[in-house]
Amino acid sequence: MQTIATAAEMTAFVDKAHANGKTVAFVPTMGALHAGHLSLVHLARSLADIVVVSIFVNPLQFGANEDFDRYPRTLDADATKLAEARVNVLFAPTATEVYPPDSQPRQLKAGVAGAPFEGAIRPGHFDGMLTVVNRLFDIVTPDVAIFGAKDAQQVFLVKQMAAKLHPRLKIVEAPTVREFDGLAMSSRNRYLNPNERALAAQISRALTRCQEVADARGTAAQAAKQAAAVIAEKPAIRLEYLALIDPNTFKEVPATFKGQCLAIIAARIGETRLIDNLRIAF
């Protein structure tokens, strides 16, 4: 595996690969890699000749009271995992490479679709996320980019942005990887103490309850209500939102909706904030 730290070298590497008829898959990450990330890498290897993984903790997508300073930075361990997964290039730029002071990249806005749910809880987060993803796309110029389905609103917004600014780039959504008890894998799971970790499984149980209601011919409104009740069984879990949305618009579905929707949830356990989602069929 080759490690590249500068934007110019990264672009030159991919330009040469393309000139030689190779396709490039890109997996952008913030590091602290776990099995969920590695599943994206394995998918990327099946989709292209060359796999590039970036590790960059983006300051623009952290709010004033969020965990930018404590976000885990484990570059050496991450590099070992990526080498074992047969990644071709680890792109590990500094902030000045991503955001050069003499040539600031285009600042993107998430707009209406980025306002509810995560956008309401984390103002400015999606603007920063889209800005860095667009910048990384400009540097890496991949043929395909892979994102995890756990961050549903992020994937929705990236697909919107790519369709406008990178129309030749294919965005692939990879399935969420879960722990033995259903908890979605996340870099933030390491913040949970043992008691909090046991509680965290209740989040995926709430989503599963949505599908159980749908299977019993219940309504979307009943599913959301019963899922919220599952969370309420554990007062230590602080629910931020739970909604059933249309994955094509990211707007809440009506109470008597029929068809495929997405149950999305965000909750806090102690100081740790977790999100998850599950596709539901009514």
Residue 155 has pLDDT above 90, yes or no: yes
Which DSSP string corresponds to 7-74?
Answer: HHHHHHHHHHHHHTT--EEEEEE-S---HHHHHHHHHHHHH-SEEEEEE---GGGS-TTSSTTTS---
pLDDT tens digit sequence for 41-95: 999 999 999 999 999 999 888 887 677 887 889 999 999 999 999 999 999 999 9
Q: Give the 3-state secondary structure percentages of the chain, helix then strand then coil, rounded to 5.
A: 45, 20, 35
Query: How do residues 207-244 score in pLDDT, each as one tens digit?
Result: 999 999 999 999 999 999 999 999 999 999 999 999 99
Residue 121 within any structural domain of the chain: yes
CATH of residue 215's domain is 3.30.1300.10
Task: Report the side by side order of strands in the sheet with 272-281.
Answer: 251-252, 237-246, 260-269, 272-281
- pLDDT of 162 > 90? The answer is yes
Question: Is this structure's pTM higher than 0.85?
Answer: yes
- What is the tens place of the pLDDT at every residue in 38-55? 999 999 999 999 999 999
Q: Are the C-beta atoms of residues 277 and 262 closer than 8 Å to each other?
A: yes
Instruction: Return the beta strands (E) in the chain as ranges.
Output: 2-4, 24-29, 50-55, 89-91, 144-148, 170-174, 237-246, 251-252, 260-269, 272-281
The answer to whether position 157 is within a domain reads yes
How many domains does one find in the chain?
A: 2
Neighbours of 273 (CB within 10 A): 18
Picking from 174, 206, 234, the residue at the C-terminal end of a domain is 174
Q: Give pLDDT, residue 16.
A: 98
What is the span of the domain harbouring residue 96?
Answer: 2-174
User: Quick check: is 180 in a domain?
Assistant: no
Helices (H) and strands (E) in the chain, counts: 9, 10
State which H helix or E strand residue 98 sits in: helix 95-98
| CATH code (residue 122) | 3.40.50.620
Radius of gyration of the chain from its Cα atoms, rounded to whole angstroms: 19
Model pLDDT, residue 68? 82
Query: Which DSSP state fits 204?
Result: H
Instruction: Cite the active site residues.
Output: 37
Query: Does any domain span residue 182?
Result: no
CA dihedral angle for residue 51, residue 55, residue 60, residue 61, rounded to 10 degrees? 80
- pLDDT at position 197: 98
Q: Are residues 139 and 192 in the same domain?
A: no
Q: Are residues 206 and 254 in the same domain?
A: yes
Q: Is residue 33 part of a domain?
A: yes
Same domain as 198, residue 122: no
pLDDT at 112 over 80: yes
Rounded-to-integer distance, Cα 155 and Cα 153, Å: 5
In this structure, the answer to whether residues 84 and 119 fall within a common structural domain is yes
Do 201 and 167 have their domain in common?
no
Question: How far is the C-alpha of 154 from the C-alpha of 147, rounded, in Å?
Answer: 9
